[in-house]
Amino acid sequence: MTQIYNFRNTYKEKNNSIRYAVAVFRTSTEDQFIRGNSITEQNSRIDKWALKNNVIIIDREDIDHSAYRGLDEDPRMLHLLEKAKSDPRVSFFLVDEKSRFARRKVLRVMWAHELRQHGVEVIGVSEPHYDRNSIMGVWWEGMSETKDEARSMETAYWTMRGMLRNFQERDPETGHCYRNGGPPAYGYKNVHVTRGKDPRGKDIVKLIWDINDEHAPIVRYVVLTCWLEKNMTFKAIRNHLQSNEPKWDGRREPVLNAKNKPWSLTSIREMCVKAMEGYYNGVGYFNRTSKDLVGTGQKWKDTEEWLRLENAHPKIITDEEFVKLVKVKGLKMEQRKKSGFIPPRAENSRYLFTGKNLIGENMFTCLRCGGPMKGSPSGGYLYYICSNRDNQAVIIMLT
């Protein structure tokens, strides 16, 4: 009897005639089109490899951004990874080069390991194939992972330098800073301007911020009238904008945000914070956040790394108004940043004396232990009761 029966491996059925794969195609910079790395050309090479090796691609994604920044958060990439691990037919995860899979070494190793656990191999169709279970294969894979990550970090470094240089450059006609893209702060709009020709005779197109005449009055009304003069809370401002009460221009219909949707507390707060930071007084910032901080519990870089430029764009709030705003609201905003801060009550409550007062002290304390008092309804009555010693503290009944 010469036939060998395999009663051990039941996880994935082997098919010697047709195998299945998923594929991802990625470009990150325009020069890849010149070097022959466009999405179309990557598709062609992967399809050619699949045809030669009798592989059917059952799912594919085109991703047009850098693999070094944000690829692990791209839902298209996560979809393909999940597809490869969950579909028992899939044997290969195809990319043009393995640097297209992931350039960060830790991510590339982790994803490849997870795929191998599900019987899926990552194949770079334009690269030499090597046996990763051999000594040379381990060396080759390690060098390839390190090389790709280092190359991507170098690209990110020079890209950031170019963006920084562009932001520091002043427009000769307006005197304002050039922008690197992305949505502007509420109250402004992106404007593309042509500033001369490059050596090839093409227009040099730059991006600057200009005032949005429709949104700028809303910024002034929210920040200066509602928040500064009337001392309204963020919640009260939001409710006011969504109400039929008269607004700054006499209108009574609700005021919607830039997406024609009702305002949220977060967007109202963000507008006021930007006003405190000087955005609406013409101050521009660069290099304040980083995707490299993802997972650290920190979003913002240290202030020493920020670049702050005056007169980066037109002013919606004047210098005098900005000075007054910082003087009145600055201390309160600083207090809100402190750990454990509880904002004082600004609305009617059955327990008005719980929480902290304006200087951060407990509003109502226990006569025995000094602990903060809390509300405690019982038997149809409302009580203040010590939060530290519920059964032993002094209890005051509200009538």
pLDDT tens-digit profile of 27-47?
Answer: 765 445 556 677 788 888 999
Same domain assignment for residues 231 and 302: yes
Write out the residue range of the structural domain in which residue 64 sits.
19-147
Q: Alpha-carbon torsion 321, 192, 266, 241, what sign?
A: positive
Same domain assignment for residues 329 and 356: no
Asked if the structure places residue 305 within a domain, the reply is: yes
Specify the pLDDT at position 352.
64
Asked if the structure places residue 10 within a domain, the reply is: no
Same domain assignment for residues 384 and 285: no
Asked if the structure places residue 13 within a domain, the reply is: no
% of the chain surpassing 70 pLDDT: 79
Q: What is the pLDDT of residues 376-388, one digit of tens each?
A: 777 677 777 887 7
Asked if the structure places residue 328 within a domain, the reply is: yes
pTM across the whole model: 0.59
Asked if the structure places residue 321 within a domain, the reply is: yes
Q: What is the pLDDT of residues 120-179, one digit of tens each?
A: 998 888 887 777 778 877 787 778 777 777 777 777 778 788 888 888 899 999 999 999
- Domain boundary among the residues 112, 147, 182 is at 147
Task: Share the mean pLDDT of the chain.
Answer: 81
Neighbours of 202 (CB within 10 A): 8
Same domain assignment for residues 185 and 297: no
Angle CA 131–134–139, to nearest 5: 90
Same domain assignment for residues 24 and 141: yes
- Domain boundary among the residues 337, 358, 387 is at 337
Same domain assignment for residues 172 and 139: no
Residue 188 has pLDDT above 90, yes or no: yes
Angle CA 233–235–236, to nearest 5: 65
pLDDT-derived band at 293 (thresholds 50, 70, 90) equals very low
Q: What is the pLDDT of residues 298-356, one digit of tens each?
A: 577 888 888 899 999 999 999 999 999 999 988 877 776 666 655 655 555 666 666 67
Total domains in the fold of the chain: 4
Angle between helices 105-117 and 75-86 (to 10 degrees): 30
Cβ proximity of 208 and 194 under 8 Å: no
Asked if the structure places residue 160 within a domain, the reply is: no
3-class secondary structure, 365: strand
Q: Which of 123-132, 251-260, 354-363 is predicted most confidently? A: 251-260
Please state whether beta strands 396-398 and 381-386 pair in parallel, antiparallel, or not at all (unpaired): antiparallel
Same domain assignment for residues 50 and 110: yes
Same domain assignment for residues 91 and 115: yes
Per-residue exposure over 357-375, b if at least 16 CB sit within 10 Å of its own CB, e if not: eeeeebbbebeeeeebbbb
Q: Measured in whole angstroms, how far is the alpha carbon of residue 110 from the centre of its chain?
A: 23
- Written as one letter, the residue type at 93 is F
Same domain assignment for residues 31 and 130: yes
Cβ proximity of 83 and 46 under 8 Å: no
Q: How many helices (H) and strands (E) does the chain have?
A: 9, 11
List the CATH number of the domain containing 67.
3.40.50.1390
Specify the pLDDT at position 29.
56
Residues belonging to the chain: 399
Same domain assignment for residues 23 and 142: yes
What's the maximum distance between 2 C-alpha atoms anywhere in the chain?
Answer: 97
Q: Measured in whole angstroms, how far is the alpha carbon of residue 190 from the centre of its chain?
A: 20
Asked if the structure places residue 2 within a domain, the reply is: no
Asked if the structure places residue 154 within a domain, the reply is: no
Same domain assignment for residues 98 and 193: no
Same domain assignment for residues 47 and 141: yes
Residue 118 has pLDDT above 80, yes or no: yes
